[in-house]
Amino acid sequence: MIWTSLDTWIVVAAALAGLASALVGSFLVLKKMSMMGDAISHAVLPGIAVAFILTSSHASGVMFLGAAVIGVLTAVLVQLVQRYGRLEQGAAMGVVFTVLFAVGLILIEQAAQHVDIHPEHVLFGAVELVPLYTLQLFGLAIPRGVAVLGVITVVNLAVVVLFFKELRLAGFDPALADALGIGSGRMHYLLMVLVALTTVAAFEVVGSILVIAMLIVPGATAHLLTKRLVSFLVVACGVAVTAAVLGHVAAALLTAPENGVIPQALTLLHRRVVVARQDILGLLVRHTETFSTKGNAVLVPEPTGLNLQQLRSLPGSPFPAGSGMLRLALITLRLSGSVSRTGKRYYLTPQGMKQAHELLRSHRLWERFFHDEGNVLLDELHPAADYLEHYTDGELREALAHKYTGEGRDPRGNKIPD
Amino acid sequence: MNDRLLRVLMLADYNTRVVVFGVVMLGIAGGVIGVFLLLRRRALLADAVGHAALPGVAGAFIVLTALGADARSLPLLLTGALISGLAGMGCVLLINRLTKLSEEAALGIMLSVFFGFGIALLGIIQQMRGASAAGLGSFIYGRTASMIRADALLIGFAALGIVVLATLLFKELRLYTFDEDFAAGDGWPVHGLDVLLMSLVVGVTVLGLQAVGIVLVIAVLIIPPAAARFWTDSLAKMVLISAVIGALGGYIGAAISAMAPRLPAGAVIVCVTGSMFLFSLFFGKTHGVVPLAVDALKLRRQTRLHHILRCLYECGEAIYDHSKPISIRTLRDSREWGDQELERAIHTAEKAGHLRETRERAYLLTEKGRVEAHRITRNHRLWEIYLLEHADVAASHVDQGADFIEHVLGTELVAELERSLSIEELTPGSVHHLPAEQGVET
C-alpha cells in the first residue's frame, strides 16, 4: 500500500478518538458500568439529530451542548426508571436508551430529506471522509474532525489529571468518597458528561455504536494486564493507539476496493461457483436431449436426471473426480431452486430449465458466430463457445441472435432454444 | 388520509395483514420471553445478542453471494444470525468464566467487537462484484416494508412456537426464575432451563432483526415486561399484560410504518411501545407513580384524621366526660404537632362529619366521630398491649410504636389481637383503660 497524507490523518483521527475514549472508558470499566457507555452512546442520537437540524453542521457547539444534556439526562432517567419501576439497572438502561435511540433515528430519517445527514454515517462513522473537511489552524490545513477530537482528548486528559484523586476514590469506594465530601454522585455525572461528549466527537470516526468498543475494550484489556490505576490508564491509551494504527493498515490491506485480499478472494470464489453452476445446468440440459438419426438433438420425453457419478464422468464434464466444487455448486443450485433431487439423481426444475436454455442458446449462438464469421472447424467450436457462454449477458445474446438465428440451428444442426 | 389509516388499521390489504401478523406475533413472543429475561436480570444480554447477529447476517450474505445463491433468503440469513448470536453469547460466558472482567464489560466487549466485525463485513459486501447490500440495511434499522409474505409467516409461526413452548414450561420457568437454588435442590434441570431460556431469547432476537433492527431489537424483549411490571405483582398476569403490550405496540407500530414506509419501522414500534411504558410508569395500577402518590395522600389524610379523633377521645377520657367540647389549646398540648397540622386535621375531621365546633375554637365529637374514635383508640391500645407482652417493648416506647400501626390495623388483625391477648381491664402500665368493644356498655 502507498501511505499518503490521507492515511496519516485517518490514523491520527482514529488514534485521538481511541485516546479520548480510553481515558473515560477506563473508569467505566473500573466502576463496572461498561454498559452505561453503551446506553449513552446510543442515547445521544436524538441530541445529534436535533443539533444537526438546528445548525446543519457536524461537530457544532450546539451538538456538544446537546450531547452533554442528553448524557446527564440518560443517567438521570435510568436512575428514575430504576427506582420507580423497581427494575435492575440493565433493564432500566435498555428501556431508556432504546426509546431515545428510536426517537433519534426517526428525527434523522425525517431530516435526511432536507439536510446532508445519513444515519449510516452517524451510526457507523466514516473515517475515510474525515480528511475531506479541513480547517485553517496555525497556518495548517487540519481536518475538522481531527481538531475536534484533539480538543476532546485534551479536555478528557485535563479532567482525568485534575480530578485523578477524586475519580479514583469515587471509582473504588464511593461510600468513602461521599464521607470525605468528594461527592461520588457529582463524579458520576461528570463522567457521564465526558462519555457523551466523547461519543459525539467520535461519531464521525467510528460511529455512535462502535464507540462503545473504543470506550471499553482498551480499559478491559488494561484490566487484565495491570493492577495500578496509572499504569492501567497508560496501557489503555497504548492499546487504543495501537488499535488505530493496526486497524487502518489491516483495513487497507485486506478490504480495500478492487485489490484488497478479501474482496479479491471472494470475487474469485464467486466467479468459479457461478461457472460451475452453469456447467452443471449445461450438462443437465444436454442430457434432456437425445440425438435423432440425422444427428440432430431432440428432446427426451421423460428425462432421467443425472447422478453425481455421471455428472463427473459425462463427456464435456469439467469436474475431475474428487472436486468439491461440484457438490458446492449443486447445493447452491438446489438452494436457489434451479435443480431438484430425487433419490440420488438431479433434475432441472422449470426455473432451472429456463436458465439452462438461456445458456444453451448463448453456447449455440457463439458456435454459429465462430462458424459463420471465423470459419472455425466444427471440432474446435465447442471449447470457445464453452468459455464465452459464461460471460454472455442477455443483451449480447440477443445481439447475436439478431444476426444468426436465420435457421434457428447451430452449425451441427442442433436447435437453438428460444 | 383518514381513509387510508382506517384501511391499514382494519387490515383491509393483504400485505398489511401479513406484516401485522408477523410483527404482532413477534411482540407477543418478545413480551412473554422478556418477562423471564427481565426477572432473571439479564436484560442487556439480549442487546448484546442483537448486535452480535450482524456478522452472522453479513457473513451469510457473503457466503450466499459467493456461491451464487439468492442472498435475500431470510431463513438462511437468520440462520447466520442465530449462529453468530449463539457464538456471541458463548464468548460472554467464556470471558466471564476465564477472566476477572465483570459481566458488564464482557457484554460491552462482545457487543462492540462483533458489531464492528459485522460492519467490516458490510464494507466487504459493498466492494464485492455482483452483490447488492441494499437488503441488509433493513436489518440494522428494521423495515417492515421489505417483508414479504413468506418472511412474515416465518416470523409469525416461529414466534408462535416460542410462545407455546414458554406456556408449556410456565411452571418450570417460574420456579427457575424466582428461586434457582430451590429448583436445583428439588432436582429440576436448572442448567437446561437456563440454556433453554437463553436460546428462546436468541430466537426472539433473531426473528425481530428484520422488523425492528439489530440496535432496537432489545426493546421488544425489555419494554413490554418493564411496562407490565407497573400493573401487577403476579407472574402469570405480568406475562399476559406484557404480551398484550408487545402485541399492541407491534400492531400500532406496523400500522404507522405502513402509512409512512420511509420511517424505520423498528424505531416506530419502539416509540409506540415506549409511550405505553411511560403511561404505565405513571398510571400502572399497582406500582404506577400516580396511584402510589394517591395512596400515600389518602394514607396521610387518614392518619391525620385518626390522630385528631384519638386526641379528642383521650382528652374526653381525662376529664371523664365525652360530652364537653375540648378547646384547641388542650388539643395542641396533648400531642406533638404544629399549628398547621392541627388545623388541617380539624378541617379534615369536620368535613368527614366526625366533629363540630361548638364554641369558639372548641370541638366536640359527633356521634359518628365518637364511634370511630372509640374504635381507633381501642386498636391503638390493643397494639400497645401486644408490644408490651409479646415484643418486650418498654412501656415508655409503646405509644410511639402503636402510633404507626394503628392506622393500618384491619378488622381481622384486631380480632386476632383480642384472641391472643389476655385482656385485663387496664391497659399496660399506663393510664389508659382499654375501651370496651363497640356496643358493650361498661
- Supply the pLDDT for residue B429: 44
Residue of A nearest to B286 (CA): A85
Whether residues B281 and A84 touch (CB distance < 8 A) is answered with yes
Structural domain containing residue A371: 262-404
Check pLDDT > 60 for residue B423: no
Average pLDDT on B137-157 reads 78
Among the ranges A89-103, B121-135, B385-399, which has the highest mean pLDDT value? A89-103
Mark which of A256, A284, A314 sits at the end of a domain. Answer: A256
Residue A295 pLDDT grade (very low, low, confident, very high; cuts 50, 70, 90): low
Q: Which domains does chain B have, with CATH numbers?
A: 2-286 (1.10.3470.10), 294-420 (1.10.10.10)
Stretch 46-85 of chain B: residues touching chain A, C-beta under 8 Å: 46-47, 51, 62, 64-70, 73, 76
- Of A209, A233, A256, the residue at which a domain comes to its end is A256
Q: Please name the residues between 289 and 348 in chain B that touch chain A, using a CB distance below 8 Å.
A: 289
Helices (H), B213-338: 217-228, 235-259, 265-283, 289-318, 328-333
Clarify whether residues A321 and A214 are in a common domain: no
pLDDT at A232: 92
Cell 410511639 sits on residue:
B400
User: Is pLDDT above 90 for A127?
Assistant: no
Chain B residues closer than 8 Å to A92 by CB: 226
Lowest mean pLDDT, pick from A356-360, B11-15, B294-298, B324-328: B11-15
A276 domain-assigned: yes
Same domain, A41 and A130: yes
Looking at the structure, tell me whether residues A252 and A276 fall in a common domain: no
Contact B47 A220 (CB under 8 A): no
Q: Measure CA A24 to chain center.
A: 28
Residue A220 shares a structural domain with residue A310: no
The verdict on residue A184 lying in a domain is yes
Same domain, A137 and A108: yes
Residue B44 burial (10 A CB sphere; 0-12, 13-18, 19+): buried
For residue A57, what is the domain's CATH number? 1.10.3470.10
Tell me the percentage of chain B whose pLDDT exceeds 90.
21
The partner residues of A120 in beta bridges, in order of sequence, read none
Report if residue A412 sits inside a domain. no
The pLDDT of residue B145: 66
Q: pLDDT tens for residues A165-179? A: 998 888 888 889 888
Confidence of residue B440 (pLDDT cuts 50, 70, 90): very low
Given A224, A256, A288, the domain boundary residue is A256
**pLDDT at site B221:** 93
Nearest-Cα distance to chain B for A38, in Å, is 7
Asked if the interface predicted TM-score (ipTM) of this complex is over 0.85, the answer is no
pLDDT at A50 over 80: yes
Count H helices, E strands: chain A? 17, 7
Contact A106 B267 (CB under 8 A): yes
Residues 126-185 of B with CB under 8 A from A: 127-130, 140-141
Bridge partners for A415 per DSSP: A409
Residue from B127, B242, B287 to probe the interface with A (highest A Cβ count within 10 Å): B127
Q: Residue range A259-276: average pLDDT?
A: 77
Q: What is the pLDDT of residue B124?
A: 80
The whole-number pLDDT of residue B442 equals 40
Half-sphere exposure of B249 (CA within 13 A, CB side): 39
CATH number at residue A294: 1.10.10
Mean pLDDT value across residues B281-296: 90
**Same domain for A343 and A383?**
yes
Task: Let me know: does B148 contact B85? Beta carbons within 8 Å.
Answer: no
Q: Is the pLDDT of residue B439 over 60?
A: no
What value does the mean pLDDT take over residues B264-283?
91
Residue A315 buriedness (CB in 10 A; 0-12 / 13-18 / 19+): exposed
Is pLDDT of B290 > 80? yes
Nearest to B66 among A103, A209, A270 (CB): A270
Q: Confidence band (pLDDT; 50, 70, 90) for A255?
A: low
B161 — pLDDT class (breaks 50, 70, 90):
very high
Q: Are residues A371 and A222 in the same domain?
A: no
pLDDT category at A95 given cuts 50, 70, 90 is very high
- pLDDT tens profile A353-406: 888 888 888 888 888 888 877 777 777 777 777 788 887 777 888 887 777 766
Q: For residues A302 and A221, state if they share a domain.
A: no
Say if A418 falls within a structural domain.
no
pLDDT at B428: 45
- Name every chain B residue with its beta carbon within 8 A of the beta carbon of A109: 262-264, 267
Say yes or no: A291 and A182 in one domain.
no
Tell me how close the Cα of A383 comes to any Cα of chain B, in angstroms: 23
Q: In this predicted structure, what is the pLDDT of residue B351?
A: 87
Q: What's the pLDDT tens digit per position in B64-92?
A: 887 777 777 788 888 999 999 999 988 98
| CB atoms B112 and A210 under 8 Å | yes
Q: Is the pLDDT reported for residue B2 higher than 70?
A: no
Tens-digit pLDDT profile for residues B308-336:
888 888 888 888 877 788 888 888 888 77
Is residue A313 domain-resident? yes
Q: Is residue A208 part of a domain?
A: yes
Tell me, yes or no, whether A94 lies in a domain. Answer: yes
Domain count, chain A: 2
Reduced to 3 states, what is the DSSP secondary structure of residue A154?
Answer: helix
Pick from A201, A195, A202, A188: which is nearest to A219 by CA? A195
d(CA B415, CA B290): 33
Q: Categorize the per-residue pLDDT at B36 as very low, low, confident or very high, splitting at 50, 70 and 90.
A: very high
Is the same domain home to A161 and A109?
yes
Q: Assess whether A9 and A86 both reside in one domain.
A: yes
Residues A241 and A275 in one domain: no
On whether residue A410 sits in a domain, the answer given is no
User: Which H or E element spans position A378?
Assistant: helix A378-388
Binned at pLDDT 50, 70 and 90, residue A292 comes out as low
Q: Is the pLDDT higher at B173 or at B260? A: B173
